[in-house]
Amino acid sequence: MAHPPRSFWRRYVFSTNHKVIAVQYLLTGILFLAMGGLMALLIRWQLAYPWQPIPLVGKLLFPGSGGAVTPEAYPMLFTMHGGIMVFFAITPILLGAMGNYTIPLEVGARDMAFPRLNMLSYWLLFLGSMILLVSFFVPGGAAGFGWTIYAPLSSSTEVSPGWGQDLFILGLALDAVSILMGGLNYITTIMQLRAPGLTLRRLPLTLWGLFYSAVLNTLWLPIVAAALFMVLCDRRLGTAFFVAGPLAPHSGGQVLLYQHLFWGFGHPEVYILILPVWGLVGDLLSVFSRKPAFGYKATVVSMLTITILSGIVWGHHMFTSGMNPLVGKAFMILTITISVPTAIFFLNWLGTLWRGAIRLTVPMLFALGVVFVFAIGGLTGLFNALQVFDIYIHDTYFVVGHFHYTLAASVLFGAYAFIYYWFPKIFGRQMSPLLGRLHFGLSFLFLNAVFSGMFVVGLHGHMRRIADATTYEFLKPMQAWNVWIGWAALGLGLSQLLFFHNFVRSLLKGKTAPANPWQAGSLAWTVSSPPPEHNFEARPRVFCGPHEYGVPELTDGDWLSQTDPRAATLAKS
């Protein structure tokens, strides 16, 4: 029986234990989630009441302008909001924390395949996030070219001179390396370290989601890393890879090339974040319907199909870019084919609920929330795939609403489902279900109010990334909606306080959690909460899939653990 390292530093800070690293990721992610959320509130304030001083915090944040957002500060707000949310909030929570915590436990391993690489991965993320924070305080302020870093706005120092811009790219590059190292561990651990009997057909769906996500990262993140280095060269070494026209120092490169490289990664990124959520939802629906995941194989194959397709549809972000229109048509057709596998696993989710015995626990509520908001996000994606219509709504709030339904709402609910579900295992204490329900109800309400409002203003042509819609005559009728979205956003922000309260209070004095509070079948729930230093005293042996609920022959409960030898005769997976 291994003991944890004695010294504080080796045990809690520079630990190679996947569970400690997961908690480090989780706390970092939650911190940045709060920061990105506050930035969103500043953005919504500016849009609701343009150039008005911000109450309470305005004088502190923008002393130069009497507490109002300035035209120079506004791009920094939305750039940092996007960059922080995607790379330093959602990625650390869903890939960093969920991946690190669940993978070794669920495959029955003592740790990740490469624990030291794992530690390095977190600390690179930490370094990247510190660089990002420093960038706020350098002369010229933080980056303001949008989280998509479109060249040549990003790549020419004539139009974006500040060092904050370089630091943003550097921070992202470090985060990319960190994610790649994490992905290497996830892929290797899931594929090579599975316990005896844990065949690929018996993996929890969460792990499939994490695996596909890691594969996408491994394949496409390096492409954007290369592009980011080229942007840095353009900025500081006088090259012109992505600069053309009068700004270019010599004959110049190609502006569109950057967009291809960026979206070559950028579109898979959507799936990188959503695939683990889909997997988690598949598992949670099964656990809390007390019923095997319906069509497990079809779900796994659908997710694989989407993983493959996601790599070849990036062009639908570029219908107005001046890209060859025939290529655009090909991208449109490829894009709509994604709805086939999506529909299949959606139907499988419904099939899991069908004739189940549904328990509406807090993680289940959030999982159902994902189903609801992802239905909206997915279906509105179809509007964006239609070339002619997309050209009208491209770069408007319709697109913002769409990707917030998929990337913010679904992924956020997924992150909360993960936290509420795994909290007892991670910390050995239970969260308050009452506060959890309240948190879900309010979040659900306000979140839909915010993002559906974005559809409305977007359809009216409200461009994204503009600081003041009242500049335009045609947007005058939309101002009331901006006010509405602003207050709904504040409501959404305030309801997250319930979560923070619940999280901290449960951490300190929540009820002690049993080893398996949810009566779940997968391997992680066979060990104590929190698990021992190296998870399993002996290598577990697996006899069935993770979703053996509602087994008819059983009299002592309705489910089988994956380690239950009776599964050899009773289980069908």
| Residues 363-422, interacting with another protein (CB under 8 A) | 368, 371-372, 375-376, 379-380, 382-383, 385-389, 391-392, 394-396
Amino acid at 551: V
Beta carbon of residue 212, minimum distance to another protein (angstroms, whole number): 13
Applying the rule CB under 8 A, the residues between 501 and 540 that interact with another protein are 539
Q: Nearer Cβ to another protein, position 75 or 510? A: 75
Q: Is the dihedral of CA 157, 158, 164, 168 positive or negative?
A: negative
d(CA 216, CA 463): 31
Beta carbon of residue 234, minimum distance to another protein (angstroms, whole number): 9
Beta carbon of residue 390, minimum distance to another protein (angstroms, whole number): 9
d(CA 263, CA 514): 45
- Exactly one of 127, 347, 442, 445 binds another protein (CB under 8 A); that residue is 347
* Residue listed under structure tokens 């004539």: 158
Task: Select the span of 85-93, 165-173, 272-280, 325-333 touching another protein (CB under 8 A).
Answer: 325-333
- Exactly one of 305, 337, 452, 519 binds another protein (CB under 8 A); that residue is 337
The closest of 398, 447, 461, 468 to 47, measured between CA atoms, is: 468
Beta carbon of residue 34, minimum distance to another protein (angstroms, whole number): 25
- Exactly one of 140, 311, 428, 491 binds another protein (CB under 8 A); that residue is 311
Rg (CA), the chain: 24
Beta carbon of residue 503, minimum distance to another protein (angstroms, whole number): 27
Task: Select the span of 31-39, 127-135, 255-263, 497-505 touching another protein (CB under 8 A).
Answer: 255-263
**Start-to-end Cα distance in the chain:** 32
Applying the rule CB under 8 A, the residues between 469 and 488 that interact with another protein are 471-475, 477-481, 483-484
Beta carbon of residue 56, minimum distance to another protein (angstroms, whole number): 23
Q: Nearer Cβ to another protein, position 374 or 427? A: 374
Structure tokens belonging to residue 364:
């289940």
Beta carbon of residue 201, minimum distance to another protein (angstroms, whole number): 10
Which element (helix H / strand E) includes 529? none
Q: Nearer Cβ to another protein, position 37 or 315? A: 315
Beta carbon of residue 145, minimum distance to another protein (angstroms, whole number): 7
Beta carbon of residue 224, minimum distance to another protein (angstroms, whole number): 8
Applying the rule CB under 8 A, the residues between 1 and 40 that interact with another protein are none
**339 lies in the site for another protein, by CB under 8 A:** yes
* Residue listed under structure tokens 């309400």: 445
Applying the rule CB under 8 A, the residues between 103 and 122 that interact with another protein are 109-117
d(CA 323, CA 263): 13
Q: Nearer Cβ to another protein, position 446 or 559? A: 559
Long-range CB pairs of 295-301, under 8 A, 24+ apart, other chains included = 295/344, 295/345, 295/347, 295/348, 295/351, 296/201, 296/205, 296/348, 296/545, 296/547, 296/573, 297/201, 298/344, 298/345, 298/348, 299/205, 299/344, 299/345, 299/348, 300/205, 300/208, 301/341
Applying the rule CB under 8 A, the residues between 155 and 184 that interact with another protein are 156, 158-160, 180, 183-184
Beta-carbon contacts of 80 under 8 Å, excluding residues fewer than 6 positions away, are 36, 39, 132, 136, 142, 143, 168
The closest of 101, 102, 80, 99 to 91, measured between CA atoms, is: 99
Applying the rule CB under 8 A, the residues between 433 and 462 that interact with another protein are 456, 459-461
3-state secondary structure of 313: coil
Residue 243, φ and ψ in degrees, nearest 5: -110, 135
Beta carbon of residue 505, minimum distance to another protein (angstroms, whole number): 27
- Exactly one of 25, 32, 87, 145 binds another protein (CB under 8 A); that residue is 145
d(CA 307, CA 209): 10
Applying the rule CB under 8 A, the residues between 224 and 253 that interact with another protein are 224-227, 229-230, 233, 237-241, 243-253
Residue 545, φ and ψ in degrees, nearest 5: -75, 175
Applying the rule CB under 8 A, the residues between 256 and 295 that interact with another protein are 256-257, 260-261, 264, 289-295
Question: How far lies 490's CA from each of 442, 487, 503, in Å?
Answer: 12, 5, 20
By rule CB under 8 A, what string of x and - marks binding of each residue 187-226 to another protein?
A: xx--xxxxxxxxxx-----------------xxxxxxxxx
By rule CB under 8 A, what string of x and - marks binding of each residue 77-96 to another protein?
A: --------------------
d(CA 417, CA 281): 8
Beta carbon of residue 194, minimum distance to another protein (angstroms, whole number): 5
- Exactly one of 213, 348, 443, 561 binds another protein (CB under 8 A); that residue is 348
Q: Nearer Cβ to another protein, position 117 or 442? A: 117
The C-alpha torsion from 301 through 306 and 308 to 311, rounded to 10°, is -170
Q: Nearer Cβ to another protein, position 33 or 300? A: 300
Size of the site for another protein (CB under 8 A): 170
Q: Nearer Cβ to another protein, position 146 or 493? A: 146
Structure tokens belonging to residue 493:
């922000």
Amino acid at 107: V
- Exactly one of 152, 276, 414, 436 binds another protein (CB under 8 A); that residue is 152
d(CA 367, CA 285): 7
By rule CB under 8 A, what string of x and - marks binding of each residue 47-66 to another protein?
A: --------------------
